[in-house]
């Protein structure tokens, strides 16, 4: 049996915020799978934060903007190749459109894009189409798969798409998919709510992951480092898209509270470095000044993976106080570096951060609880080392990108052979996600 020839599709790829997809693609290629990358739009230069992104952008095929002639040729070719398949795909597009006139208009655009993509998949002799996320990208990938008569699968993240599950017809996508890669048990539970009992066997847990070896030296250096200067600030790190959902305002308010208390006690303040960019950056910078943190917070903008590693190497605590998450890679990287993390009890976070064992978990939006945890870690280097050691262990054992890629490759190969993917056991039981020792 020949190896599957997979097409990965995204609405925009590669971006600074989807390095986990880039790692997954490369890991699958390292395992011998033939993976092409396709996207609707070419990302701007602001997303090219390293040579890896530039190389992947150069190797990606983009649908937009299509030439009018190319668009007509693609759809006419598909119609001539199989009129019934074309009509069935068009009916699928109508059945899964979003509500209202605007929803129908957007679905028309998605169908047109799917036709261009389908012709490229046929021309490239692809045997499977896969996408990340449950909204636009999976809509186009599903329609392209229907037009090209190819099996379709997608990686389901959440949590945002679960608030619009019926709008994006996750039920239909799950039913049509040969398998669904769910990034957490929480994600899988939401997919089970949206699908039939018969579909449960195709819902697999495939974590987004990191390469723990990349952070080994940083972790070992941290664990073996001598006592630091007791007068130096405690260094906090935050790396994420600068948007309200990530809870950065809560972190800034908690920091202001912590620093007031520490100044009163004659203790060194906490300082924060923020890696990332987004629509709310100016608002966050303004808020930092408003709460008296102008000299304690540095906004770095988008940075490369190497720069993120450098940021983590010089940080003492990592904080991600989001209001909604799946299982964030932005927590795995500091944990792999041996940094204690503070996160919020949302989505699948507690599958990665076990409160009091591999980090601290606080209620979302609770400034006082967050300030208390920051203060506790700032005051206790032994506790920082204990949590950092356990955090690295859980990432090494359960969120290793190479191991997750092997599990995903097994699903692609099963789908390519026609075997039911429900027979592929790729994930340990939930209890196994606890560290084997404390």
Domains within the chain, CATH numbers bracketed: 5-209+401-433 (3.40.50.2000), 213-398 (3.40.50.2000)
The mean pLDDT values, 10 residues at a time, for the chain of 438 residues are 89 88 94 96 84 89 94 97 97 95 95 98 97 97 98 93 93 96 94 91 93 86 75 93 94 98 95 93 96 96 84 94 92 94 94 94 98 96 95 94 94 84 54 48
What's the pLDDT at 438?
A: 36
- C-alpha angle 296/298/304, rounded to 5°? 150
What's the pLDDT at 427?
A: 56
First to last CA, the chain: 44
Residue 237 bridge partners (DSSP): 273, 318
Q: Which residue has the tokens 């990965």?
A: 8
Query: Is-contact 257 359, C-beta < 8 A?
Result: no
What's the pLDDT at 46?
A: 80
What's the pLDDT at 270?
A: 97
Cα separation, 372 vs 383, in Å, equals: 14
What's the pLDDT at 418?
A: 75
Cα separation, 181 vs 132, in Å, equals: 9
């Amino acid at each position: 049996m020949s190896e599957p020839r997979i097409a990965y599709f995204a609405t925009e790829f590669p971006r600074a915020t989807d390095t986990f997809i880039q790692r997954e693609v490369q890991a699958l290629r390292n395992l011998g799978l033939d993976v092409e990358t396709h996207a609707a739009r070419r990302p701007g230069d602001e997303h090219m934060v390293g040579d890896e992104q530039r190389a992947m952008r150069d190797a990606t095929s983009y649908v937009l903007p299509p030439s009018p002639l190319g668009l007509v040729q693609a759809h006419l070719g598909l119609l001539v190749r199989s009129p019934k398949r074309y009509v069935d795909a068009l009916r699928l597009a109508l059945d899964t459109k979003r509500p209202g006139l605007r929803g129908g208009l957007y679905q028309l655009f998605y169908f047109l894009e799917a036709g261009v993509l389908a012709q490229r998949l046929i021309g490239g002799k692809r045997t499977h189409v896969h996408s990340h996320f449950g909204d636009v990208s999976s809509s186009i990938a599903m329609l392209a798969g229907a037009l090209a008569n190819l099996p379709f699968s997608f990686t389901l993240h959440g949590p945002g798409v679960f608030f619009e599950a019926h709008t994006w017809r996750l039920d239909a996508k799950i039913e049509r998919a040969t398998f669904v890669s769910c990034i957490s048990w929480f994600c899988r539970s939401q997919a089970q709510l949206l699908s039939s009992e018969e579909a449960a066997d195709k819902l697999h847990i495939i974590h987004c992951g990191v390469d723990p070896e990349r952070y080994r030296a940083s972790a070992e250096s941290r664990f073996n480092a001598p006592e630091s200067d007791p007068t130096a600030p405690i260094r906090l790190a935050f790396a994420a898209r600068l948007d309200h959902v990530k809870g950065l305002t809560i972190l800034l308010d908690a920091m202001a509270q912590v620093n007031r208390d520490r100044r009163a006690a004659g203790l060194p303040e906490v300082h924060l470095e923020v890696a990332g960019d987004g629509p709310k950056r100016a608002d966050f910078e303004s808020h930092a000044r408003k709460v008296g943190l102008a000299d304690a917070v540095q906004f770095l903008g988008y940075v490369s993976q190497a720069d993120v590693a450098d940021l983590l190497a010089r940080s003492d605590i990592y904080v991600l106080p989001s209001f909604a998450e799946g299982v964030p890679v932005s927590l795995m990287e500091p944990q792999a570096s041996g940094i204690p993390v503070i996160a919020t009890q949302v989505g699948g976070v507690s599958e990665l951060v076990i409160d009091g064992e591999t980090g601290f978990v606080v209620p979302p939006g609770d400034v006082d609880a967050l300030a208390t945890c920051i203060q506790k870690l700032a005051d206790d280097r032994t506790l920082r080392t204990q949590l950092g050691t356990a955090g690295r262990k859980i990432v090494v054992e359960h969120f290793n990108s190479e191991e997750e890629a092997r599990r995903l490759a097994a699903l692609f190969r099963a789908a390519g052979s026609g075997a039911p993917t429900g027979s592929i056991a790729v994930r340990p039981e939930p209890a196994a996600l606890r560290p084997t020792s404390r």
